[in-house]
Structure 1
Amino acid sequence: MGASPLPAASSSTEVAFPSGAGIIARIKEAEIREIVALPDIVTSDGLLWPISVDPDFRLTRICKEDEGVSICGAMSYNGTRALLMMQQTGLMDSLNAIRAIGVDYELPIVMMVGLQGKEPHVKPDQSASYGVRIIRPVLDAMAISHSLIEEPEDIDHIPQAVEAAYAGSRPHVFLIGRSPEAP
């Protein structure tokens, strides 16, 4: 039994990319000052490197994504808002920690996840990359809220989604489908 064919990609590959500076401004607007991160090829140039030199943030570099889940969960106990940055392979590696800490213990783990290997002109669910295609269905199965940041205007909901995660004490995942433009 073969895999079902995916729709052909659009012949036009002209796409707009979200602004890294705009995302950083929305993160600040959401009152996040703690960034916990592993380098991710999708977000490094437009987000991680600018964040690393921004005096408004404290960056904690980690070795494993599940460490970041624990760190962000612990910070929430004293009212500190944190953001965990990683790529989707790390998200998949840390699902048990997210399930336990974010879902079972009901802690607001907010994540920005770069979709490595996703084509900029197709939606994640139509990507040729299996690792990209399965992310949203896995998050849906775990009842973890998520939103896609792919178009420039997709960044506008970041503060509201962070606020909802902290108000409801639940995880939220921002899926970064296109590399943010460097400031």
Structure 2
Amino acid sequence: MADYPLTAESIKNQFKRAGIHFVVALPDRVTSHYLLKGLINDPEFKVVQVCKEDEGVSICSGLYAAGHKSVFMMQYTGFLDSINAIRGVAVEGHFPVCMVVGLLGKEPDVAPTQSKKYGVKIIEPILDVMGIERYLIERDADTAQIGSAIDKSFKNSSPSAILIGREPR
């Protein structure tokens, strides 16, 4: 596993570095097998599983209001499904909802905007229009951006999107 480009452990370590203790998640096919299961089994994290993505946006905002830091894990289809909640709560309400978005079907080392998957192709332009900073993570070397993204999101009280471009192992 050491030679695999992206590891769940590297992502998890960045969550810890950024002081994340709550992970709100709607299980997805990109991050669930290694990353989410690893977070569930780690006593440093409390994992809150939700049924709909808009619930996750509200829960992360509530955790922030109560003084806690969290990330919200979902698939890109869930992001698309929850745009109104993200707009109303995170963007206009100025809540630091840090979304970890799995890009299911994105081809390795292909820019999301060049993907053959239409839903993947439109994610970055939508984030740009919404004014949400985004960070593409495809290799362990990219994961240093995760801690910085979370820190910046909480410092500026604004949402961010950490795009997971391949399944972490």
Q: Which interval holds the TM-score relative to the shorter structure?
A: over 0.9
**Could you tell me how far 1:120 is from its partner in structure 2?**
1.6
1:68 aligned onto 2:40: no
1:153 aligned onto 2:134: no
Listed as ranges, the gaps of 5+ residues in structure 1 are 1-14
Contact 2:99–2:160 (Cα < 8 Å) also in 1: yes
**SS of the residue aligned with 1:134?**
helix
Listed as ranges, the gaps of 5+ residues in structure 2 are none
Q: Aligned-residue CA RMSD in angstroms?
A: 1.2
Q: 1:142 aligns with which of 130, 144, 148?
A: 130
Contact 1:83–1:109 (Cα < 8 Å) also in 2: yes
Deviations 1:150-177 (CA, angstroms, capped at 9, x unpaired): 1221101211111110010000110000
Match of 1:109 in 2: 97
Deviations 1:36-73 (CA, angstroms, capped at 9, x unpaired): 10111111122101111111100111000000000001
Which of the pair is proportionally richer in helix? 2
Match of 2:154 in 1: 166
Larger gyration radius, structure 1 or structure 2: 1
Match of 2:79 in 1: 91
Amino acid at match of 2:75: Q
Match of 1:34 in 2: 22
Contact 2:104–2:166 (Cα < 8 Å) also in 1: no
TM-score (norm 1): 0.88
1:178 aligned onto 2:166: yes
Contact 1:36–1:60 (Cα < 8 Å) also in 2: yes
Deviates more, 1:112-121 or 1:81-90: 112-121
Q: 2:67 aligns with which of 75, 79, 82?
A: 79
Q: 1:118 aligns with which of 93, 96, 106?
A: 106
Amino acid at match of 1:92: L
Contact 1:17–1:179 (Cα < 8 Å) also in 2: no
Count of aligned positions: 167
Query: Residues of 2 paired with 1:165 and 1:150: CA distance?
Result: 20
**SS of the residue aligned with 2:94?**
coil
**Could you tell me how far 1:31 is from its partner in structure 2?**
0.3
**Could you tell me how far 1:16 is from its partner in structure 2?**
5.2
Match of 1:51 in 2: 39
**SS of the residue aligned with 1:31?**
coil
**Could you tell me how far 1:18 is from its partner in structure 2?**
1.3
Query: Residues of 1 paired with 2:42 and 2:146: CA distance?
Result: 19
**SS of the residue aligned with 1:102?**
helix
**SS of the residue aligned with 2:77?**
helix
